[in-house]
Amino acid sequence: MANKAHDYAKKFAAEQATVEKAKLVYLNTLAVYAVHSYLKWMEFESDLSKGDSWNPGIRALLDVADLVIPGMGKLECRPMLPEETSIRIPEEVKEDRIGYVAVQFEEQLDNVKLLGFYPLSDTVNAPEEITVDDLKSFDDFIDYLEDLELFDSTNLNILGQGEVIPNQDNLSQWLENIFSETWLTVQEVLGLERTQWVFSARFRIAQAVMRASKIELKTQANSRLLALIVAVIPPKSEDKLTKICLQIHPRGNEIYLPSEFNFVALDTSGKVIAEEKSGIYKEWVQLDILGTPGEQFSVKIESNDAVLVRNFVI
């Protein structure tokens, strides 16, 4: 381990009220710094200073070993001693994490080994403990980070499981070219000229399946014609996340979205997982989310006193 890592660890440990807490903070700090160094070597940016583990007040109260990856989220770096075969997941780090890395130390704490990675896609059922056998390889870890890097961090969310939502559109069936009658080609809904502006170039991937649905929002004052565009980008392999990209566009003679307009994605508990608001002269809004087959979510489209909800399962 680098001297700088031990310098941080000694400083943070000295602030603690008990010997047991000092040992815990020492190991957590070394684990975070080890992952930070690995990501730097792999040319991924990470920010030590933004994590709870680098916050004096939070680390004194909680068992945290998080490392912030800008634009992606927090990665939890859990330490393991030589004789241990699993990492414990404290209650306080079961949410707001993109995954866990197991960091195993040698007896003298002079060398560490990054044993593997566990992606967190279901915060409702986050594990109490993760064994070495449960970990994925670091090839998978890098692929996972590259997947997350594709998306705007303001919209990126990992979905959870829940009760079945009625009247769902099954997006996995889209990958088998099975669509309900409400879903048309983008050109059929928006016309040829507007279709070329749907999604940015980074989403024009050969494997992506894209469909559009006509929407009419009826308020007390008027009626607005809109289009919901959904693109499904399948995972590269069975253990990867499916990308779902959603946009709202005006259609017909409309050029801009309503100025008072809200586009929200919700999980099955009703928690907002992504949100975009319109403004004056805005031509479209977009939400980006990730999930695995079987996960469910809803999108709510609202303007003034008009509300429309569409339900999906991946």
- Both tokens of 99, joined, read 């995954």
Place of tokens 């939070």: 58
Residues 137, 247: one domain? no
Residues 173, 145: one domain? no
Residues 176, 302: one domain? yes
Nearest alpha carbon to residue 79 among 91, 87, 69, 90: 87
pLDDT of 309: 87
Number of domains in the chain: 2
How far is 79 from 34, CA to CA, in rounded Å?
10
Residue 283 located in a structural domain = yes
Is pTM beyond 0.85 here? no
Residue 155 located in a structural domain = no
- Give the torsion through C-alpha atoms of 128, 129, 134, 135, to 10 deg: 100
Residue 305 maps to which CATH number?
A: 2.60.40
pLDDT tens digits, one per residue of 163-207: 445 568 999 899 888 988 889 998 898 887 677 666 543 444 556
Residue 179 located in a structural domain = yes
Place of tokens 């060398």: 111
Q: Domain end: 117, 149, 181, which one?
A: 149
Residues 173, 83: one domain? no
Containing domain of residue 117, as a range?
3-149
Q: Domain end: 116, 149, 182, which one?
A: 149
Residues 307, 178: one domain? yes
Q: At a CB cut-off of 8 Å and minimum separation 6, what does 133 contact?
A: none
Backbone angles phi, psi at 211, to 5 degrees: -140, 165
pLDDT of 14: 96
Spatial strand order of the sheet with 99-105 comes to 66-69, 73-80, 99-105, 112-119
Residues 116, 212: one domain? no
Residue 228 located in a structural domain = yes
Residues 117, 219: one domain? no
Q: At a CB cut-off of 8 Å and minimum separation 6, what does 75 contact?
A: 35, 46, 66, 67, 68, 69, 97, 98, 99, 100, 101
Q: Cα separations (Å) of 176 from 86, 103, 180, 208?
A: 39, 40, 12, 12
pLDDT of 159: 60
pLDDT of 117: 92
Residues 132, 175: one domain? no
Q: What is the DSSP string of 31-59?
A: HHHHHHHHHHHTT---BGGGSGGG-HHHH
pLDDT tens digits, one per residue of 295-308: 889 998 888 778 88
Element (H, E) at 29: helix 19-41
Residues 139, 22: one domain? yes
Residues 144, 172: one domain? no
120: Cα separation from own chain's centroid = 9
Residue 135 located in a structural domain = yes
Residue 113 located in a structural domain = yes
Q: Domain end: 149, 179, 203, which one?
A: 149
What residue ranges of the chain have pLDDT lower than 50? 122-124, 151-156, 162-164, 200-204
Residue 159 located in a structural domain = no
Residues 142, 179: one domain? no
Residue 145 maps to which CATH number?
A: 3.40.1350
Q: Is residue 118 a contact partner of residue 134, using CB atoms and an 8 Å limit?
A: yes
